[in-house]
Amino acid sequence: MNWIELRALNNLYSKGDVKINDTLAQSGEINYLINSLRILDRTHNNLFVLDGFAEIYEKDYLEKFNRYETFLSDNELLKPQLRFEESDIQILIGIKEDMDNGNLEPLREQIIKNEATVRIVSLMFFKNEKYLLGKEALINAVKLLLDIDELADDKDLQYKYVLECKDTNCIVLCENIDFLKRPTLARANNIELWYAGGKNVAKLDYADTRGLPIYYSCDWDFDGLFIIYPLVKEKIQTIQLLTPNGVPKGIIETEHGSKWENIKDKNIDFLLTPKQLNLVKELVRKNQWIIEESNDLIKMLDLNK
Residues 272 and 173 in one domain: yes
Is 217 domain-assigned?
yes
Residues 6+ apart with CB under 8 A from 58: 13
Between CA 90 and CA 145 the distance in angstroms is: 13
CB 209 within 8 A of CB 238: yes
The predicted model gives 249-260 an average pLDDT of 89
Q: What is the pLDDT of residue 292?
A: 94
- Does pLDDT of 30 surpass 90? yes
Domain span at residue 278 reads 161-304
Between CA 22 and CA 4 the distance in angstroms is: 10
Is 152 domain-assigned?
no
Residues 288 and 186 in one domain: yes
Chosen domain end from 74, 96, 112: 74
Is 79 domain-assigned?
no
Side-by-side strand order, sheet with 191-195: 161-163, 191-195, 170-174, 214-217, 240-241
Mean pLDDT, the chain, whole residue set: 91
Residues 117 and 37 in one domain: no
Between CA 208 and CA 11 the distance in angstroms is: 57
Q: What is the CATH number of the domain that holds 29?
A: 1.10.10
Is 155 domain-assigned?
no
Residues 112 and 175 in one domain: no
Residues 194 and 253 in one domain: yes
Per-residue confidence band for 157, with pLDDT thresholds at 50, 70 and 90: low
Q: What is the pLDDT of residue 230?
A: 94
Between CA 104 and CA 92 the distance in angstroms is: 13
Chosen domain end from 54, 74, 94: 74
Is 81 domain-assigned?
no
| DSSP-H helix ranges across the chain | 3-15, 22-25, 28-35, 53-60, 62-74, 86-100, 105-113, 118-126, 136-146, 183-188, 222, 229-235, 274-286, 297-304
Residues 136 and 21 in one domain: no
Task: Tally the domains of the chain.
Answer: 3
Residues 184 and 242 in one domain: yes
Residues 126 and 186 in one domain: no
Q: Which residue, 295, 71, 247, 94, is CA-closest to 181?
A: 94
Between CA 33 and CA 96 the distance in angstroms is: 32
Is 247 domain-assigned?
yes
